[in-house]
Amino acid sequence: MSVSPKRRQTTTAVTKEALDPRLASLLGSFTYHIRVEKGMAENSIESYKRDIRDFLLFDSKPIETYTHEHLVKYMASLSEVGLVSTSLARKRVALKQFFGFLAENEVAVQVDFDKVPKIKPGFQLPDFLDVDTMLAFLNGLPVETTLQKRNKLMLELLYASGLRISELLGLSIHDFNHGDRVILVRGKGSKQRYVPYLEYVAELLDKYLAQVRPVLLNFKNSDILFLNHRGGKMTRMGFWKILRKEALRANLKQEITPHTFRHSFATHLLEAGVNLRIVQVLLGHASLNTTQIYTHVDTRYLVETHRMYHPRA
């Protein structure tokens, strides 16, 4: 994904996390090895660097203390956020080559890759859309009628935020901080988190609140953001019917569910280079690292990272 001038300007504001100097030096030596000695293509070099750096930032420690258990935990976390098997397999290869290079150069690593399960790419259709397919689907949504404008906002917001469908349909008009463009999301187990939304979603939201929602509300009293045609709360079944209709209209070749948007959100950010810990926070995943995540990742950093790397930014 190309980086626009606007994104380049924000890069310095988003480079909050930096590798430990020794880890950075080892990664630099490995990069030199695959570029000069192995003659690897530049795109592959950048992918390897990104994959290895993400792991080292996810669980930063002296290189000699890593074991297979750390890699298994990392791969499991990637799988949990929805990264597909082909991408998982590539990351495993990158890490195996990195630790193999260190061992060959007399760095006392103790990672046994025989104990890191191999990733077998599946043959079933993945539960995500690639960036081009997702953007084509969203760009093709009709916006002529009141209900179509509501549907456009729902689907765009689902992809822009990575929300669960229950979180999307539970949103209140009071959950949006329009100045900072963040949403207060109430997730599983009454846990709360802030999720950014982008300018194009803000524009759709403003039009929906000013022109569409009052028509759907029809003088009723409700704080719920997304309303059905009777002015009541949108249900899961109602959303499913909308999504199924739009998927058929767009002639999508694979099955699409509300969770497809969440998996696509996570996959596209990870493949663009966003650190796994950031994606975990955005998704509201509960894990053994939850305390560490919320300690080290502040809301400002989340917002800046999201705006820099999301395909819609």
- Please provide the size of the chain in residues: 313
Quick one: pLDDT at residue 299?
66
Question: Does residue 46 belong to any structural domain of this protein?
Answer: yes
Question: Is there a single domain that holds both residue 145 and residue 97?
Answer: no
The Cα-based distances of 217 to 132, 208, 233 in angstroms read 35, 12, 10
Q: Report the C-alpha gap between 95 and 54 in whole angstroms.
A: 10
Question: Does residue 279 belong to any structural domain of this protein?
Answer: no
Question: Is there a single domain that holds both residue 218 and residue 136?
Answer: yes
CATH value at residue 242: 1.10.443.10
pLDDT less than 70: residues of the chain:
1-17, 121-126, 286-299, 301
Q: Residue 218, by phi and psi: left (phi above 0), alpha (psi -120 to 50) or beta?
A: left
Q: Report the C-alpha gap between 229 and 247 in whole angstroms.
A: 20
188-208 b/e (C-beta count within 10 Å ≥ 16 → b): eeeeebbbbbbeebeebbeeb
CATH value at residue 26: 1.10.150.130
Question: Is there a single domain that holds both residue 95 and residue 155?
Answer: no
Give residue-wise pLDDT tens across range 114-135.
888 887 765 444 578 889 999 9
Question: Is there a single domain that holds both residue 154 and residue 40?
Answer: no
31, 49 Cβ separation under 8 angstroms:
yes
Q: Report the C-alpha gap between 300 and 302 in whole angstroms.
A: 5
| Residues with a known catalytic role | 164, 188, 259, 262, 285, 294
Question: Is there a single domain that holds both residue 91 and residue 25?
Answer: yes
Q: Report the C-alpha gap between 215 and 231 in whole angstroms.
A: 9
Q: Give the total number of structural domains in the chain.
A: 2
Question: Does residue 242 belong to any structural domain of this protein?
Answer: yes
Q: Report the C-alpha gap between 70 and 190 in whole angstroms.
A: 30
Question: Is there a single domain that holds both residue 221 and residue 252?
Answer: yes
Who's near 216: CB < 8 A, 6+ residues apart?
146, 150, 227, 228, 229, 231
Q: Which two tokens mark 199?
A: 């300018």
Question: Is there a single domain that holds both residue 155 and residue 259?
Answer: yes
Question: Does residue 296 belong to any structural domain of this protein?
Answer: no
- Residue in 195, 212, 222, 203 with CA at minimum distance from that of residue 282: 195
Question: Does residue 290 belong to any structural domain of this protein?
Answer: no
The residue from 114, 141, 165 where one domain ends is 114
Question: Does residue 191 belong to any structural domain of this protein?
Answer: yes
Give residue-wise pLDDT tens across range 211-221.
999 999 988 99
Residue range of the domain that includes 41: 17-114
What is the rounded end-to-end Cα distance, in angstroms, of the chain? 11
Quick one: pLDDT at residue 286?
59
